[in-house]
Amino acid sequence: MTARLGYALAAVVGAVATVAGIAGVLGATWSFRAPALVPLGGLELSIDPLAGFFLAVVGLGVVPASIYAVDYMGGDARGLFAYLVLVVSMAVVPLAANVVTFALAWESMSLASYFLVVEGGAGPRASRDAVDAGWVYALMAHAGLAALLAGMLTLTAATGSTRFADWMVAAPALASEARLGALVFLAAGFSGKAGLVPLHVWLPRAHPEAPSHVSALMSGVMTKLGVYGLLRAGFEWLGVIPAGWGAGLLVVGVISAVVGVLYALVERDLKRLLAFSTIENVGIVVIGVGAAVMFRAADLGPLAVLAVVAALYHTVNHAAFKGALFLGAGAVVHATGTRNMDAMGGIIKRMPWTAACILLGALAISALPPLNGFVSEWLLFQTLLQNTEIARPELNLVFTLGLAGLALTGGLTLACFVKAAGLTLLALPRGEGAACAHEAPVAMRAGMAALSALCVALALGPTAVLPALAGVARSIVRASSDTAIAARGPLTVHVSGDFASLSTVTIALALAAGVAATVVVLSVLGASPRRRISETWGCGRILQTPRMEYTATAFSNPFQRVFDFLYRPLPAVDIDAHPESRFFVRTIRYRNETRSVIDDWLYGPIAAAMRVATGGVRRLQSGSANLYLAYILAALLVLLVLA
Amino acid sequence: MTAALLVAVMQVVLVAAAAPLLVGALRTLKARLMGRRGPPLSQPYADLRKRLAKEAVVSETTSWVFRITPFVLFASMLVAALVVPVLSARPALPFAGIVFLMYLFLLGTFFLALAGLDAGSAFGGMGSSRAVAVAALAEPTVILAIFALALRVDTTNLGAIVERIAGHPLLALSPGHLLAFAALFIVMIAETGRLPVDNPATHLELTMVHEAMVLEYSGPYLALVEWASAMKLLLFMTLLANLFFPWGVATTLTPVPLAIAVVTLGLKLTVLTVFIAVIETLVAKLRLFRVPELLAGSFALALFSVMAVFLLR
């Protein structure tokens, strides 16, 4: 009972965060100081439009996830405290107004999610995978924190203040070395949390291991706080940064998007597939951020605002549809007892509500009109297409690459989610768990339905949302009042005057009218209403079994062939034949594993070097207390001499 | 307002009515080029009528996704007919950008691919997997070709592109324009399942893409799917014809320009049809794993077209 109340409390916190965040977006300001609470500047919180936006994203993610958890955890109190800490610290990160507050919130967010990953939620003891994932996660999170603190302390040293507001004032006069140093460290720290390639390695390991409502928050919300940091640092703390950095960000975004979706495509584990797709979506958001940096460096304020708006819209969209997908996947995994899509199938008949939410999420994430993913990707396309306003050929080339990469990502995402939805939900069940699956309890359905409704609202209401987002974007770009984006009338959004326009409500109505027209056409032409239920056609074989279905591995095979330089697959066929004759085959085992280029080529050598280095250090560790005292004395002497 | 509505309805009806004729013409032409007599031009209409009158056999394995797919697919093509500048340079959906059009086509692909998986047969899955692979790899070409066009005229609005190019006919002959046309032509071949990417005439399961995906459909459902595919072909060809060679497209909604538009569109489509029929007669189907190379080639063409536009600005 206490556990249920705890999750209800988290939902209330989320609702408050949403309301406060929306107030912040609309221009409310508020601040809070408690200098005595912690040393080094004290606790300090404040809200501005950008903080308000990310606070609202946190709230919008937390409410459905917490409602879902009421039934998902079924009164199990394990991990509740860590969950509450995670929720509160995620809400505090965008509000933090000085280094100490920020570092405390950031670290407690990492630690709380680490515990939730290791805890896993399944079984009495943490699984081996979860512990390994937690280890990689803790390592990357702390390397990221170290980089962030290095960057922040560089700025503190250069400006003599730990308050973010002072940095903003001092930014234009910042020495170029301090700016460069801070930029490198902050970019590395924040992109690690956002899960950008090549700092993403922890993400597909850690996100799937956590309970599904936590996965939804980690993927939908926590990665976005990395994006928040990139925006804060890139637009406020460091002043106007050169266009080259924007180009770099855009390229990193494109690589993350394409690599993320390509690894998602060959994944058989449903939750890992969703985690890889998070890397892709953060990549799409960062493409927008990079474009904004370039436009701003070229003094094209309205276009920079447009790019930030596209990035922010995709941020909240991804929180909505990825949340719905993770919660839906969690319900399916809960019901079938497996995360392997090759053992799922037929869920749509056994869990109709869950299936509908997953299908809607798949449509939205594939950016199909008229859903919300389409709106933000369309905006981003229109932004990138206007790059010719910058008269620098090398940057135009980067933008062209961005356009092509974004389009490829769009197509591959469609393929990926046809696979995820089709193989999970449709056809006959391919495993016992899937065959006896039951619909999720009511609170879980309510959580998924809330996020699906959010997707639909964001799809049909861009005219209401976009002006507010433009306000947020203007507050960080500091452009003059004119913007490239405007709502004309209640339905249509215009980009850069007559460059492009969109009305999702009209599209939705047109599609509905189209379906109605199709029904009318059929009846006018006298189509036969007769329908016979029969077996699937199968070349004359007698009985259809699930073994005849296409599997996840088979579905992604064309992609594996086309992009084999990235997957470097290791197909292996083991045939166990009878000793008397090789024609009497007893078993055939087929394996087709893909490898990660980045794990092997980047982290492999680093891990090997670390092992050698730590092996050397181990010689210092004799276990003798006398020797350790000698070390301390020696260190003290050296420090005294240096001082 | 009423004139615009009337033209919009006319345009949709024209696309729906003429699409089977285009398929029939293509088949007959191909047959003649191969030295056969071929079916009459009206054969696709007869096929549609026959299928509409038959009962539908639905697999017991399938779900509602399978049953709504033909309707979603057909509806998306009807909406696409409002987006493409078929007769007038002012498409009925004014915010119609070409990005929207491409995603509208993808909407149909998405549902068809799901339906292919729904019956649980290996053929359907095979078709779905291949169809989404081809669609995904064609996307970058589309967006770069759009970029090359948008660079010229400062908009992605289809109607505005057509109007600007119609105003400067020599634009249509610039290298960037021709390269973009070639790139989009290859995309059309891939997206509408023509040779050498997919063979619309084959019924050999292992080589099929589109046909394998829709194998489980029968009766009125099959009629809708085939009709929608024909409309997609017509719309793609119209898009290519009017976007790159916009002569004759009506700029006002009065009867005489509209009549001229219908006639010129007919002529342009005839030329394109002959072109496609000749290509389909000359080339054999590519192996599936050679298709990405073809699409990479089209991507290179699109990239060159962007560069050409940049250099010749």
Domain extent listing, chain B: 3-311
Beta-bridge partners for A46: A31
Q: What is the mean pLDDT of residues A546-552?
A: 82
Please tell me the distance from the alpha carbon of residue A58 to that of residue A63, in angstroms, as a whole number.
Answer: 9
Report residues of chain B scoring pLDDT below 70.
1, 95-96, 202-207, 313
Q: Do the beta carbons of residue A533 and residue B58 sit within 8 Å? A: yes
Structural domain for A632, as ranges: 597-642
pLDDT tier at A122 (50, 70, 90 boundaries)?
low
B140/chain A closest Cα distance in angstroms: 5
Decide if pLDDT at A536 tops 90.
Answer: no
Q: What is the mean pLDDT of residues A266-288?
A: 93
Q: What is the mean pLDDT of residues A390-398?
A: 87
* Shared-domain flag, residues A259 and A226: no
Q: Which of A79-93, A247-261, A524-538 has the lowest mean pLDDT?
A: A524-538
Please tell me the distance from the alpha carbon of residue A321 to that of residue A12, in angstroms, as a whole number.
Answer: 21
Residue A586, H or E segment: strand A585-593
Please tell me the distance from the alpha carbon of residue A203 to that of residue A518, in angstroms, as a whole number.
Answer: 45
The overall longest dimension of chain B from CA atoms, in Å, is 60
Q: Which of A117-121, A149-153, A415-419, A558-562 has the lowest mean pLDDT?
A: A117-121
Which SS3 state, helix, strand or coil, does residue A276 take?
Answer: helix
* Shared-domain flag, residues A498 and A434: yes
Whether B143 and A534 lie within 8 Å, measured CB to CB: no
CA distances from A315 to A87, A278, A318, A387, A463 (A): 18, 11, 5, 22, 17
Helices B291-311 + B175-191 axis angle, to 10: 160
Query: Each residue of A446-485: b (16+ CB within 10 Å) or e?
Result: bbbbbbbebbbebbbebbebbebbbbbbbbbbebeeebbb
* A282 inside domain: yes
* Shared-domain flag, residues A512 and A633: no
pLDDT of residue B178: 87
Q: Do the beta carbons of residue A433 and residue A284 sit within 8 Å? A: no
pLDDT of residue A625: 85
Nearest of A46, A51, A49, A475 to residue A228 by alpha carbon: A51
Give the closest of A378, A385, A534 to B60, CB-based: A534
A191/chain B closest Cα distance in angstroms: 26
Q: What share of chain B is helix, strand, coil (3-state, %, to 5)?
A: 75, 5, 25
B49/chain A closest Cα distance in angstroms: 8
* Shared-domain flag, residues A231 and A357: no
Q: What share of chain A is helix, strand, coil (3-state, %, to 5)?
A: 70, 5, 20
- pTM, two decimals, is 0.93
User: Mean pLDDT for chain A?
Assistant: 88
Q: Do the beta carbons of residue B184 and residue B143 sit within 8 Å? A: no
pLDDT of residue A461: 85
Please tell me the distance from the alpha carbon of residue B283 to that of residue B303, in angstroms, as a whole number.
Answer: 25
> Which residues, 6 or more positions from B137, have their beta carbon under 8 angstroms from its beta carbon?
A408, A411, A562, B190, B291, B292, B295, B296
Please tell me the distance from the alpha carbon of residue A620 to that of residue A628, in angstroms, as a whole number.
Answer: 9
How many domains does chain A contain in total?
3
* A347 inside domain: yes
Look at the block and give the residue holding tokens 């509209």: B258
**Taking CB atoms and an 8 Å cutoff, what residues of chain B touch A421?**
114
Please tell me the distance from the alpha carbon of residue A264 to that of residue A252, in angstroms, as a whole number.
Answer: 18
Taking only the tens place, the pLDDT of each residue in B189-205 is: 888 888 888 877 766 66
Please tell me the distance from the alpha carbon of residue A383 to that of residue A295, in angstroms, as a whole number.
Answer: 10
A351/chain B closest Cα distance in angstroms: 12
Cβ atoms within 10 Å of A15's Cβ, excluding its own: 15
* Shared-domain flag, residues A253 and A228: no
Which SS3 state, helix, strand or coil, does residue B237 take?
Answer: helix
Nearest of B46, B47, B11, B40 to residue B25 by alpha carbon: B40
Decide if pLDDT at A464 tops 70.
Answer: yes
B138/chain A closest Cα distance in angstroms: 8
Please tell me the distance from the alpha carbon of residue A147 to that of residue A49, in angstroms, as a whole number.
Answer: 26
A506 half-sphere exposure, CB direction, 13 A CA radius: 18
Amino acid at A626: N
Q: What is the mean pLDDT of residues A586-614?
A: 82
Taking only the tens place, the pLDDT of each residue in B234-252 is: 999 998 998 888 888 877 7
Q: The complex's ipTM? A: 0.94
Whether A522 and B224 lie within 8 Å, measured CB to CB: yes
Nearest of B174, B167, B61 to residue B120 by alpha carbon: B61
Rg of chain A over CA atoms, in angstroms?
26
Amino acid at B92: A
* A428 inside domain: yes
Task: Provide the sign of the torsion angle of the four alpha carbons A174, A176, A182, A183, taken in this order.
Answer: positive
Q: Do the beta carbons of residue B240 and residue B229 sit within 8 Å? A: no
**Taking CB atoms and an 8 Å cutoff, what residues of chain B touch A507?**
79, 93, 100
Amino acid at A561: R
Size of interface A-B (CB pairs under 8 A): 258
Last residue of a domain, one of A238, A269, A297: A238
Task: Provide the sign of the torsion angle of the four alpha carbons A181, A187, A190, A196, taken in this order.
Answer: negative
Q: Do the beta carbons of residue A231 and residue A308 sit within 8 Å? A: yes
Minimal Cα distance from B159: which residue of A? A500
Question: Nearest 10 degrees: CA dihedral of A106, A110, A112, A115?
Answer: -170
Please tell me the distance from the alpha carbon of residue A213 to that of residue A323, in angstroms, as a whole number.
Answer: 8
Give the closest of A425, A492, A500 to B97, CB-based: A500
Taking only the tens place, the pLDDT of each residue in A219-240 is: 999 999 999 999 999 998 888 8
Residue A593, H or E segment: strand A585-593
For chain A, percent of residues with pLDDT exceeding 90? 49
pLDDT of residue A489: 67
Nearest of A408, A418, A414, A179 to residue A287 by alpha carbon: A408
Which SS3 state, helix, strand or coil, does residue A34 take?
Answer: strand
* A106 inside domain: yes
Beta-bridge partners for A591: A572
* Shared-domain flag, residues A246 and A158: no
Taking only the tens place, the pLDDT of each residue in B144-186 is: 888 888 777 777 778 788 888 877 777 777 888 889 889 999 9
B176 half-sphere exposure, CB direction, 13 A CA radius: 21
* Shared-domain flag, residues A165 and A280: no
CA distances from B59 to A352, A467, A550, B210 (A): 19, 48, 16, 19
* Shared-domain flag, residues A478 and A493: yes
* Shared-domain flag, residues A112 and A181: yes
Last residue of a domain, one of A176, A210, A238: A238
Cβ atoms within 10 Å of A545's Cβ, excluding its own: 11
Q: Could you tell me how many helices (H) and strands (E) chain B has, helices first? A: 11, 1
* Token pair listed for A497: 């005057």
Please tell me the distance from the alpha carbon of residue B74 to that of residue A531, in angstroms, as a whole number.
Answer: 20
pLDDT tier at A483 (50, 70, 90 boundaries)?
low
Q: Does A366 touch chain B (CB under 8 A)?
A: yes
Nearest of B228, B239, B227 to residue B84 by alpha carbon: B239
**Taking CB atoms and an 8 Å cutoff, what residues of chain A touch B16?**
521
pLDDT tier at A561 (50, 70, 90 boundaries)?
confident
Q: Which of A59-68, A120-129, A597-606 has the lowest mean pLDDT?
A: A120-129
Q: Do the beta carbons of residue A402 and residue A384 sit within 8 Å? A: yes
Whether B106 and A414 lie within 8 Å, measured CB to CB: yes
* A572 inside domain: no
The overall longest dimension of chain A from CA atoms, in Å, is 99
* A488 inside domain: yes
Q: What are phi and psi of A114, to 5 degrees?
A: -60, -45
What is the total residue count of chain A? 643
Q: What is the mean pLDDT of residues A250-256?
A: 95
> Which residues, 6 or more positions from A307, have their beta carbon under 8 angstroms from its beta carbon?
A288, A289, A291, A292, A295, A380, A383
Per-range mean pLDDT, top range of A76-85, A213-222, A595-604, B301-310: A213-222
Last residue of a domain, one of A238, A261, A280: A238
Minimal Cα distance from A387: which residue of B? B151
Q: Do the beta carbons of residue A536 and residue B61 sit within 8 Å? A: yes
**Taking CB atoms and an 8 Å cutoff, what residues of chain A touch B220?**
522, 527-528
pLDDT of residue B65: 94
pLDDT of residue A635: 92
pLDDT tier at A345 (50, 70, 90 boundaries)?
confident
* Shared-domain flag, residues A427 and A321: yes
The DSSP call for residue B41 is T
pLDDT of residue A542: 67
Please tell me the distance from the alpha carbon of residue A143 to that of residue A188, in angstroms, as a whole number.
Answer: 9
* A368 inside domain: yes
pLDDT tier at A420 (50, 70, 90 boundaries)?
very high
pLDDT of residue A638: 94
CA distances from A321 to A19, A187, A210, A252, A326 (A): 20, 27, 18, 23, 9
CA distances from B81 to A49, A419, B15, B229, B236 (A): 42, 29, 7, 13, 10
Please tell me the distance from the alpha carbon of residue A259 to that of residue A256, in angstroms, as a whole number.
Answer: 5
Please tell me the distance from the alpha carbon of residue A133 to that of residue A129, in angstroms, as a whole number.
Answer: 6
Whether A382 and B97 lie within 8 Å, measured CB to CB: yes
* Shared-domain flag, residues A213 and A256: no
* A567 inside domain: no
Minimal Cα distance from A521: which residue of B? B224
Cβ atoms within 10 Å of B47's Cβ, excluding its own: 18
Nearest of A124, A260, A131 to residue A206 by alpha carbon: A131
Q: What is the mean pLDDT of residues A485-492?
A: 70
Amino acid at B69: T
* Shared-domain flag, residues A216 and A304: no
Taking only the tens place, the pLDDT of each residue in A279-334 is: 999 999 999 999 999 999 988 888 899 999 999 999 999 999 999 999 999 999 98
Whether B56 and A405 lie within 8 Å, measured CB to CB: no
Cβ atoms within 10 Å of A505's Cβ, excluding its own: 16
